[in-house]
Structure formats: structure tokens, C-alpha cells
């Protein structure tokens, strides 16, 4: 088991390039099962979630090859339609395989998906949407069994703009007979990326990034080579790290409009932000001001995946911040670890009141989930003295070479065997 050893109090300087988006690459990999042709996804980040999805594809009979950071999938030999609980419990995004398997094989069986323990994250919206497309669903023995004679286009309305449900609808409806009109769709950049990827394979989808997506089913899809969108959450994490530790860095590869509300909040913290083309520069000097309120919402609202990092930042800012988590009911599990460092945080249900302190101090910390783990790293960078952080398997799910990139920016961080 590895741990991070961090000596806080160093400002960050330099530049870092964002990896391809974890939350885009995973559904793209799930989509590879839709064609027998080879599909290559360029610059897939070497994170454990990508490795887990690759293993799921192999279990289904697909061939998966890595060449550097490019991954090529050939699903010609795929025929299995059941995904074991051993894999699904490790990866929430395994649920995307439902839509792809139904579109390709007209049947699918999947154990209830896992991932980070940040709340219930029910998949009722996924299942009700699939039922609208003609899927028969049976739940027993911890598995979801789905079958259909054929998928039929339908009008689907989502009560909540679920990213996962939106992506599953695209993956299933792309080969359905007729037209599917999805209202209330999620608008995240990763939805747009999935549309562009599927269209590059021969699909007929339009409207991604708006409330309404129209999918005209096609007979078949073909192979393609595709470069995914960059990871706005990883990019945002480095921007917040610089804000908390001080200094000046530039993050390359990410579009400012994908991080609009975060950049607004960082300016509110008194950071200077300059964005041009695909580069964002942040300068942080002196004591920051606390944000008045941060409330997580579906895109283009504030991302839940950056909530923990911003709490860590406000721990060392001047004033008091109210943070409201609307999407996941147990996403404050990291807070007791921040309190070990001297943070002043009060939790009340889905809200946190953060009262900034002059300084945090180093401590021994345990990661409980992916983004909470990233927040602990950021807090350690801003703290006085040494910190040790264990439970890095959570962080490795979403950040490639996290310590290496931070070290390049001047952080004193080392990954050692615990």
C-alpha cells in the first residue's frame, strides 16, 4: 500500500496539461462494444478506472490493446453479455454497458454498480428509460437482467438531468429502430463528447449539450479513431491547488467555458484568472477570501466533483463559506480528515459551514473517496509541516501521475510504500 508524503507551504509555479477526461473516456470505452470494427481512443489516461473498464470489455470477449496512452478495442469476438459483480463493484461506470450490450446483443446482465461510496446513486432513471425503449427488466440475486426483441425509438423525459442515464440512452438508442427524443437531458461536456464519438462511428445524434437530444437509429456503426475532451475536473483540481498553496500556474488543454462557475468562484476568492484558447492561468497571492456560497448543481452549475477541493481551499481563506451538496448525500466523508489538520467545518445534512483559519497543520490522513482524496492532497499542500496520506487507490481512479504533476509545479510530494 502506497502513501503520499507531503511537506506543505510551497507555492506552485509552472504549467501542467490536463489528461483526457475520465468521465468521457469510460462511456467511450463502453461504446466500443457497439461495433465489430476496431476503435482507437487516443490519450486515454492511465488511471485504474480505465484499466477496470478494459477488463470488463475483455470479460465480454473483446480484445483490448494499449499502445502508450492509446487504447484500441476490437469487439468482433465479443459475445458475452454478463458482467461479474467483482468488476462492477469496482466501477460505477460499468452501468454504461447496459445500453451498449442491449444495442449489440439484445440482452445484458449486470450486478449493481459500485465506485466511490458517496451516496445511493440509484439507477432507476436508467432502467425506466430502457423500459421506454422496449427492454424487459428483472432484478434478482443482486443482478439486473435486461432483454428485448429489439430496441424501438421512443420519447423519453428525465425527471432529473442524470449524466449516466443520458449516456445510457444514447448508447442504447443509437441502434434502435426509429427516432428517440430525449427531453431533460444532462448537458455536461462529456455528453457532447459521447455524441461526437458516436457520430464519428456513423450514428445520427444531435442536440447534446442542450435539454433535448434527438437520436435517429442507424443499422450499424463502424470503427473510428478519436481524441476525447480534456478533463475539466482534473484541470480544476490543479487550479484550486494553486489557489490554496499560492503561486502562479497555467493549465493547458481545457476550455474555460467548461469551468465557468469555478473560475468565477476563484475570482471571488481574490485569485487572478486569465483564460485564452485552451489555456487557463491562475495567480494566487496573499490571504484568500472565503466564498460566500458554493452550491453543487448539474452542468453548467458548480460541479459536485470539485466540491471537496473547494472546501479544502476555503479552510485557509478569510471569512465563512456555505457549501451545499445537492447531488450526493454522503459527499462530506472527507471532512473529519480536514478537521485533523485544524479545519473549522460544521456539517448539517447536505450543507457545510466552513470558517477559514489562518493555517492548517500537517497530519496523517486517510482518503475515503476519489475527490475527497484530492481535497486532502490540496489541504496538505497548503498546510504547515508534513502530512502523510493513505488510501491512494481512490485517487488513482481519476488522477494519472498526480504526485508527478504536482512535483513538476514545485510541490514537495513523494509517493512511498506505506
Residue 225's DSSP bridge partners are 40
Degrees (nearest 5) of the Cα angle 360, 267, 354? Answer: 35
Active site residue 52: no
- State whether residue 132 is helix, strand or coil: helix
Exposed / middle / buried, residue 263 (Cβ in 10 Å: 0-12, 13-18, 19+): buried
**Which one is catalytic: 32, 52, 116, 315?**
116
Sign of the dihedral defined by the CA atoms of residues 321, 325, 330, 333, in that order: negative
Give the span between the Cα atoms of 179 and 169, in whole angstroms: 12
Give the span between the Cα atoms of 193 and 195, in whole angstroms: 5
- DSSP code at position 318: B
- Contacts (Cβ under 8 Å, ≥6 apart) of 192: 208, 209, 229
Phi-psi region of 106 (alpha: psi -120 to 50; beta: other; left: phi over 0): left
Measured CA to CA in angstroms, residue 357 lies from 321, 374, 418 at distances of: 12, 20, 30
DSSP H or E segment with residue 274: strand 272-276
- Where do we find the cell 457497439? 34
Give the span between the Cα atoms of 258 and 47, in whole angstroms: 22
- Active-site amino acid positions: 116
Amino acid at each position: 500500500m502506497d502513501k503520499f508524503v507531503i511537506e506543505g507551504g510551497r507555492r506552485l509555479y509552472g504549467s501542467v496539461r490536463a489528461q483526457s477526461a475520465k468521465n468521457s473516456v469510460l462511456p467511450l470505452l463502453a461504446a466500443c462494444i457497439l461495433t465489430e470494427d476496431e476503435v482507437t481512443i487516443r490519450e486515454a489516461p492511465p488511471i485504474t478506472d480505465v484499466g477496470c473498464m478494459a477488463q470488463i470489455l475483455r470479460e465480454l470477449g473483446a480484445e483490448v490493446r494499449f499502445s502508450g496512452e492509446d487504447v484500441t478495442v476490437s469487439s468482433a469476438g465479443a459475445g458475452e453479455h454478463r458482467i461479474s459483480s467483482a468488476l462492477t463493484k469496482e466501477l460505477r461506470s460499468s452501468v454504461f454497458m447496459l445500453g451498449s450490450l442491449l444495442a449489440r446483443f439484445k440482452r445484458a446482465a449486470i450486478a449493481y454498480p459500485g465506485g466511490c461510496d458517496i451516496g445511493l446513486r440509484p439507477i432507476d432513471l436508467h432502467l425506466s428509460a430502457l423500459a421506454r425503449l422496449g427492454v424487459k427488466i428483472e432484478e434478482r440475486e443482486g443482478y439486473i437482467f435486461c432483454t428485448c426483441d429489439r430496441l424501438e425509438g421512443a420519447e423519453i423525459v428525465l425527471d432529473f438531468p442524470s449524466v449516466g442515464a443520458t449516456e445510457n440512452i444514447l448508447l442504447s438508442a443509437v441502434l434502435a429502430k426509429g427516432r428517440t427524443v430525449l427531453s431533460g437531458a444532462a448537458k455536461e461536456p462529456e455528453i457532447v463528447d459521447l455524441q461526437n464519438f458516436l457520430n464519428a462511428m456513423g450514428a445520427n445524434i444531435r442536440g447534446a449539450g442542450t435539454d433535448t437530444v434527438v437520436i435517429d437509429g442507424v443499422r450499424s456503426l463502424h470503427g473510428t479513431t478519436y481524441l476525447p475532451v480534456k478533463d475539466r475536473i482534473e484541470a480544476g483540481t490543479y487550479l484550486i491547488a494553486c489557489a490554496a498553496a499560492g503561486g502562479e500556474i497555467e493549465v493547458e488543454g481545457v476550455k474555460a467555458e467548461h469551468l465557468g462557475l469555478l473560475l468565477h468562484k476563484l475570482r471571488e476568492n481574490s485569485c487572478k484568472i486569465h483564460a485564452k484558447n485552451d489555456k487557463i492561468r491562475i495567480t494566487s497571492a496573499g490571504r484568500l477570501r472565503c466564498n460566500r456560497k458554493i452550491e453543487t448543481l448539474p452542468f453548467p452549475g458548480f460541479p459536485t466533483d470539485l466540491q471537496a477541493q473547494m472546501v479544502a481551499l476555503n479552510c485557509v481563506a478569510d471569512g465563512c463559506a456555505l457549501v451545499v451538496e445537492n447531488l450526493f448525500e454522503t459527499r462530506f466523508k472527507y471532512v473529519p480528515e480536514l478537521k485533523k489538520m485544524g479545519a473549522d467545518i460544521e456539517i448539517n445534512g447536505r450543507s457545510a459551514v466552513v470558517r477559514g483559519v489562518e493555517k492548517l497543520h500537517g497530519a496523517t490522513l486517510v482518503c475515503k473517496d476519489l475527490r475527497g482524496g484530492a481535497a486532502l492532497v490540496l489541504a496538505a499542500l497548503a498546510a504547515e509541516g508534513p502530512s502523510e496520506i493513505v488510501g491512494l487507490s481512490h485517487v488513482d481512479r481519476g488522477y494519472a501521475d498526480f504526485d508527478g504533476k504536482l512535483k513538476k509545479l514545485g510541490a514537495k510530494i513523494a509517493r512511498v510504500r506505506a
